[in-house]
Each structure stands twice: as C-alpha cells, then as structure tokens.
Amino acid sequence: MSAERLTGLSVSRGIACAEIFRFDRQEPTAPENTVCEAAAEEELARARRAEAAARGELERRIAALDADKTENAALFRAHLEILDDPYMREQVDAGILAGKSCETSIWDAYAEILAVLENTDDPVFRERAADMKDVRGRLLRCAAGRPEADLSALDRPVILVARELAPSDTACLPREYVMGIATEAGGATSHTAILARSCGIAAVLGVEGLMESAVDGRFAIVDAMAGEVILEPSETERAEYERKRDEWRSQHESDQRYLSRRAVTRDGVEILTEVNLGSVADARSQAAKAADGAGLVRTEFLYMQSRSLPDEQTQYEAYAGILKEFGSRPVILRTLDIGGDKSLSYMELPREDNPFLGLRALRLCFSNEELLRTQLRAAYRASVHGDLWIMFPMVSSIQEFRKAKQLCRQVQQELETEKTAFRSDVKLGIMIEIPSIALAADLAAEETDFASIGTNDLCQYTCAADRTNPAVEPYYRADNPGFLRLIRHVADCYLAAGKPLGVCGEMASDPTMAPILVGLGIRCLSVNAASLGQMRRVLSERSVSDMRAEAEALLRE
Amino acid sequence: MKTKEVTIINPTGLHARPASDFVKKAASFRSAVRVKNLTSAQEVNAKSIVLLLTLALSQGTKIAITAEGEDEAEAVESLAALIEGGFGEC
C-alpha cells in the first residue's frame, strides 16, 4: 500500500513521525426513541440530571481556565448561559410532556433555534449556532451517561489528528506526548496554531480530507516545513523523514543557542533583533525573553479571539502583561489593523470591491473613533509598566499621523483630568506600508518618533499584486528592484533624521532576504519568534559590507 | 404594563457580552419582560439569551422593551438605560 499525502498550512515548524491518535468528537444525530406518557416524570428527571452533569463539566472548565489566566473561559460561560436558558428548558419539558423522550426533546428544542440561526449568512449567527450544537452535544452525551473525551490520558508519543481542536481540548494537552498536530480546520491565527508554536509542536492545519483518510493507530508523518501530512509512509519514506527530523532538530538546537547572543555582524555592527507578538502568551516564549524588544505587537489578537469588542480594562491588562514581560526593552504596539483580509465575526465591516484599498486599519478607526480612543486609553494606562511605543498602521500621508497624534493628546488630557497615571514620553510612529508615505519618508522621519516597514503590504502595493491571490504570486516579489529601492529610500531618510527604523514584515524573518534588508541600511529587524535564533546566526555569520554588495547587485537586476 | 422604545447604539449590537449583560439584568426582575424588534415586529422573552439572539439586534436597530408585573417600571427603565449606555463600548 502506498502512502497518501495531504497538504495543509504549516503553522508551527518541525517534523514529527509517530502513530496517529484520532480525537473524534462525535456529532450527535437525532435520537429515534419516544416514550409513553407514564414515563414522563422519569424523563423530566433525566433531563434535569443531564443538565446538572453538563453544568458541572462547564463549571469545572471555567474554574480551570480562570486559574490558568487564559482568556477562553468566556466560551464556556456562553455555553453555560445557553444551558440555563429558561426558554430552552421550557421547550425540552414541553416535548417530554407531549410524549417525547428526553433525548428527542433536547434534539427538537435546539433544532428549532438552529433552523433560525443557520438560515443566514451572518457570521455572528453561525458562531452562535456552533455554540448551540456544542451544548446540545454535551447534553445528549450527559443524558447517555458518557464521560467527556479527554486528551490528558495519552501515555505514548502520538500525532494528534482531529477535525478541530477546541480550546478546552488543548487546555489539557499532555505536551510531552504530542509530537505533531494535524487538523482539518484552523488557520495561522487559530488557538491551536498559537499553542503549537508556543510549545514547539510541529503542526499542519487546514488539511482537507484528513478525517476521511487518517486511521487511528497507523503511522504518519507531519512535515510542517512543507505543509504535508503523510499517512502510512513506506519503510524508506519513514527512514528518510526520521533522518530529516533529526537534522532539523540539531539545526534548530544550534540556532536556539544563538538566542543567548546578540546579532553582531562579522565586521562588528550590531543589528537589533526583535520579535513579533500575537498574544500575551507569545510574550512569555523563550525567544521573546531573549529578543531586543517587541518590534510588532499585533493587537488584533485581542479583538479576534474575543466574541465582542474587548473593553478598555481587558486591553489594559493584556498590554500591561506584555510590557511587564519586556521590562526596559521597547514594545511597539500597533493599533487595530482589521479590514483587508482580516475581519471580526461580531462587527460588520462594509463590503468593498477592493478591501486592501478600502476602509481598513487606521482609516477604519478614524471612521469609528471610539474604537481607537478605547485602545489608546488602555495603551497609555499600561505605559507605566514598561517602554511603550505606539505605531499606527496604513498611513498614506503625514496628515493622518497628525490626526492620530491629536487623538493621543486628547486621551492624555482625559487621563490627566482623571488623575490616572501614564507615561508622557510614549513614542509615536507609523507603519510604512503604503508607497505614498514611503516616497515622502523624509517628511515622515521629521515628524514621527520612529517607523517600521511593513513589507507584506508595501510589496503588494508597490508591485500591484494582491498577496492573497495565487494567480499573481509571480508578480509579488520581495526582490523587485523598485521595491528594494523604495526600502533604501526610507532607510536613508530615517538614518539622516536619526530616528529608529525597523522592518517587521515576513521579509525580516526570511533568512535569504533579511541580509538584503541589512545591506539596504536597515539596522533593526522584528521577526517571528520561531526565527529569532536562526536570524541571529545568519546575521552573525556575515559582514555588512558583503550584505551591502549583495543588495546593490539586486537593485540593478 | 410599561413600555419604552430605545435604539441600540453600541457598535457590536445585542450579541455576545452585551446580550448576556442584558439578559442577566432582565432576569433580575420579577416582572415578565419582552423585547420587540421594531423593524421585523418579532417579539420574544427578554430573559432568554437564545431567543434574544434570534432577533438579530445590530447597531441602529430600534426596539421596544415591555414589562408586566410588580417591578415593571423599574425593569423597563433600567434595561433601557443599559441599552442607551452602550455597554461600555462607546
């Protein structure tokens, strides 16, 4: 029998070879049984017992998550509210009194609401429908007296295979036994992806057809370098991947040793190497502890992981948490960057023909100023805990920066009036990701305290190639000489003004492109946490003069 | 019986946390409380989070809050104030 190869999205690098552990959460189906009226009392009692058991499970989850200080207890609180909804209980009881079994009554009561929720395109409704199904599944399982499937019982090395992992599943994951993770659902910013990265578990998500093909207990390989899952490989393939895995491990271990050093080139120039953060947990990783700073805090995580707009206090706690972890090292907080390819399930954004050229990021915040004001208040309040820099995304002209700065002044005045402590020396800067501001970088360098080049967007706007459209991928090139010249121009302007400039796009984490950036005059790179060790090694092995020559050559190609 | 009409002003509407805050408040009164979506004319029990969600109350929607019982005046006033306060989102 030959191996089957499935592809997906690599979200946490590494290679894992082990047997499959299928984690199936059974989707319940409509029960068939009905009961005669004489047994109604007993059925009502069963319904109450199922509710009590389900409530107990949810309460234990909430208590465990609260103790762990993770943000996901909100999910289980929402489930608890559905479970205790007076209307749902009424409907279940009415069904039983009309002669249905406990199971059928539960099924029908939820089906009625699901029919309404599933009959729309609204993502909020779909999310709530998923919650309703989750609670119904829990109730039916409790009614049958079956315990909750639990990963904590794992006792051997496995590759965890699932349709999707819920936060409740990963909360009790035995990390020493999970070598790799493969799921059908999930993307780079999913809960599973973040967990896999922070634990260094090889993970490939979004694998179509996985559950159909993966057999429990059979051998498999998760190649999270190539984004592949290989089911039942041949002896030769298995040996080949085990060799690759060992090679990767030893390379990775030697890169990790660079974490304790700074990035100094052969000719003695120090390059600041910072990390990009996508959560408070990211700030506690080994790489974050070793980094020269946090060059980009993607504050969207607070908005995307939540089920409603995060309030000021929630944001304050998250920012303060990150600042405390970094101590005296700078932390660059990017204000909310949604729109384009990022959306929020609970907030309707206008539909646009060209979302990347539309009302996104700072523009969206200007059209809904309270969004930004709440975020700035939280940030300024948190500023007393460390060295905070605030950065505005999607700036196309200096006027937009002035407007944002004005809003910062208002927030500072408010806090002063309220006698709330904040630091008045918070640096204010911009992302340079739109060609118009890159071309006017001399003006930007004069007024801003700092800037960071967002290469992902700057490249797509400069080359006019949508980075999410595979058909134009050949035109989206980080080595396009026009694009590289633009970066050099920005670097020259900020150097002349004596203001800090970094690069925080994917290009900074790419071991072949980062040296080019240094060659163009960049002295600060903010990279993905997983790349920090490798980046410090790559830069330490070269000299600035070599990197400059390499960049010069590309500018003329 | 007391009734009051209000407009939802918070950006995320009556979903998620705001919906949950609203239902908790409604459940704290002895009176029967109902909410009507004045656009669709649908009306439901305000103490049920599930039914409230099916009303699809987004920012800008006008609703009528009705209460009947011993604390009906207080129920209507405090629930209307909650909606008008924007749930701390604005």
> Tens digit of pLDDT for each residue in A209-227?
999 999 999 999 999 999 9
Q: How far is B44 from chain A (nearest CA, A)?
A: 10
**pLDDT digits over A353-388, tens only?**
888 899 999 999 999 899 999 999 999 999 999 999
Kindly provide the ipTM of the predicted complex, given to two decimals. 0.89
CA distance A169 to A164: 9
Which pairing describes strands B2-7 and B62-68: parallel, antiparallel, or unpaired? antiparallel
Greater confidence, B11 or A450? A450
Categorize the per-residue pLDDT at A537 as very low, low, confident or very high, splitting at 50, 70 and 90: very high
The whole-number pLDDT of residue A295 equals: 97
CA neighbor of A318 nearest in space, from A346, A360, A282: A282
**pLDDT digits over A474-510, tens only?**
899 999 999 999 999 999 999 999 999 999 988 998 8
Which pairing describes strands A427-432 and A450-453: parallel, antiparallel, or unpaired? parallel
Q: Does the annotation mark B7 as catalytic?
A: no
Q: Buried (b) or exposed (e) across A31-65, using 16+ Cβ within 10 A?
A: beeebeeeebeebbebbeebbebbbebbeebbeeb
CA distance A88 to A80: 12
The whole-number pLDDT of residue A480 equals: 96
Q: How far is A376 from chain B (nearest CA, A)?
A: 14
Tokens 């704290």 belong to residue:
B28
**pLDDT digits over A390-430, tens only?**
999 999 999 999 999 999 999 999 999 999 999 999 999 99
- Catalytic entry in B9, B15, B78, B80: B15
Cα A547 to Cα A267, A452, A541, distances in angstroms: 11, 20, 11
The whole-number pLDDT of residue A67 equals: 72
Mean pLDDT over the full length of chain A: 90
Among candidates B47, B54, B89 on the partner chain, residue whose Cβ is nearest the Cβ of A113: B54
Contact A307 B18 (CB under 8 A): no
Whether the per-residue pLDDT at B20 is higher than 80: the answer is yes
Q: How far is B65 from chain A (nearest CA, A)?
A: 18
CB A321 within 8 A of CB A71: no
Categorize the per-residue pLDDT at A200 as very low, low, confident or very high, splitting at 50, 70 and 90: confident
Q: Please name the helix (run of DSSP H) or strand (run of DSSP E) that holds residue A378, with its range, or none.
A: helix A369-382
Among candidates B17, B47, B49 on the partner chain, residue whose Cβ is nearest the Cβ of A307: B17
Chain B partners of A74 at a C-beta cutoff of 8 Å? 17
CA neighbor of A367 nearest in space, from B58, B18, B11: B11
Among candidates A87, A308, A348 on the partner chain, residue whose Cβ is nearest the Cβ of B50: A87
The whole-number pLDDT of residue A196 equals: 84
CA distance A17 to A20: 9
CA neighbor of A169 nearest in space, from A144, A123, A141, A134: A134
**pLDDT digits over A49-82, tens only?**
999 999 999 998 888 777 765 556 777 888 999 9
Least confident interval from A190-199, A272-281, A445-454 = A190-199
> What's at A436, amino acid-wise?
S
Q: Which two tokens mark A274?
A: 């910072």
Percent of chain A topping pLDDT 90:
66
CA distance B37 to B14: 11
CB A523 within 8 A of CB A503: no
The whole-number pLDDT of residue A337 equals: 92
Residues with Cβ within 8 Å of residue A71, at least 6 apart in sequence: A305, A306
CB A141 within 8 A of CB A121: no
The whole-number pLDDT of residue A168 equals: 59
Residues of A with CB under 8 A from a CB of B: 74, 77-78, 81-82, 85-88, 113, 116-117, 120, 122, 124-125, 128, 132, 307-309, 311-312, 346-348, 368, 370-371, 374
Tell me the average pLDDT across B28-51. 94
Three-class DSSP category at A146: coil
Secondary structure in 3-state letters for chain B = CEEEEEECCCCCCCCHHHHHHHHHHHHCCCCEEEEEECCCCCEEECCCHHHHHHCCCCCCCEEEEEEECCCHHHHHHHHHHHHHCHHHCC
Which of the residues A308, A345, A367 would you substitute to probe the B interface, choosing the one with the greatest number of B C-beta atoms within 10 Å?
A308
